[in-house]
Structure 1
Amino acid sequence: MDIIGPFPPAIGQKKFVLVAVDHFTKWIEAEPLARITEEVIVKFLWKNLLCRFGILQKITTDNGTQFQGRKTRELCAKWNIKQVFTSIGNPKANGQTEVSNRIILQNIKTKLGQHKRGWLEELPGVLWAYRTTARTSSGETSFSLVYGVEALIPTEITEPTIRVLRYEEGHNKEGRCLDLDLIHEKRCAARIRLENYKKRMIKRYSSRVKERPLQIGDLVLQKVEVQRPVGKLEPKWEGPYRVRTVQREGTYEPETLEGA
């Protein structure tokens, strides 16, 4: 679970989006927010997740105070939900949500063009497209892994598919029951494909990418939101900066070229 923003203020002064992604199905839930408070986090967990999908096994977030507050901890303790916090300076531990954030932002940019304040109206369509697009890793859509059947998408209305042309209410009910009977097998097959995909990606990465640790004095660009969050539809990098110190592997302290 993560928060993206700020975006240009939309209706109701909403400029943030709270995002939660299921680790296996990759189903995504998102809620536009005007403010980031512990109360809205608790409300989102209860309304969008627990009341719709049941009790969660664990929640992975960053170390933001809104995720560590008393009310959030009490909700998790009440329902025996384990809270996992990513290490400071190690956002990769919350990698699935980070990937989903990038996809949402890229789709919003593509749809909006220059009308950046219209992001709120575009968000539901972006989420719908994400949920009904097959993931390369699992070979399935998030929608089918959650509900056991593929969603009827707008394209199938303008260009009818076989299942639309052959729709019969009686047969549809039988087919739906069969889909629900087979949902466990579908999820098991998707999990196997997912594990095999991870292994292939690790092997490909190891064979093609040679990590290059930065040294003191190297010139780098810095991601803007690390230090001071700005509009997420604006450039994400600034610099150049010079590496001042190496704190640990993968974590560096930068300075300006003037030494500040």
Structure 2
Amino acid sequence: MDNDTHFNNDHLITWCNVRGTTFKFASITHPKTNGQLEAVNKLIKGLLRKKLDDAKGFWPEKLEEVLWAIHKNLLEEKRIAAHHQNILNKQCMEHFYNSRVKSRTLQLGDRVLKKVQTKVTGLRPRWDKPYKVIEIIAPNTHSLEDKYGERLAHPWNMEQLKYYYK
């Protein structure tokens, strides 16, 4: 137990004084940590019991293995907690970004610019001339026609279109 007086005896104090070690006692500032220490001690004792089913006198040799197992478990718990925190951060960033995005639905007759499909280099425009929305195939899929009334070969997704302000 962590509140016992294992270290407060004349033999140990004399032994420490002979070797030049000063012994200082402190009162417990955080009583809640007492329970934490007892829980860890209970965990160590339980793991030692599991490891030492047959050989009861070898606990000093097995103690290192038990402490390593506890260390690995704690690392795994920290890794899982960090992963959950990372997911929460990504969700917060996504919410922050999505709250500022203004979604736009196109209507029949709206004018749009179409993203150029070839690699754009230099000072070439990234968006192609204005087209007119002539059919809404799905919520984000539209059929377009150019200024001469010629329908484009295939429908276009909203990601490749930008509203054209007159």
The normalised TM-score by structure 2 is: 0.36
Greater RCO structure (CA 8 Å; 6+ sep): 1
The normalised TM-score by structure 1 is: 0.24
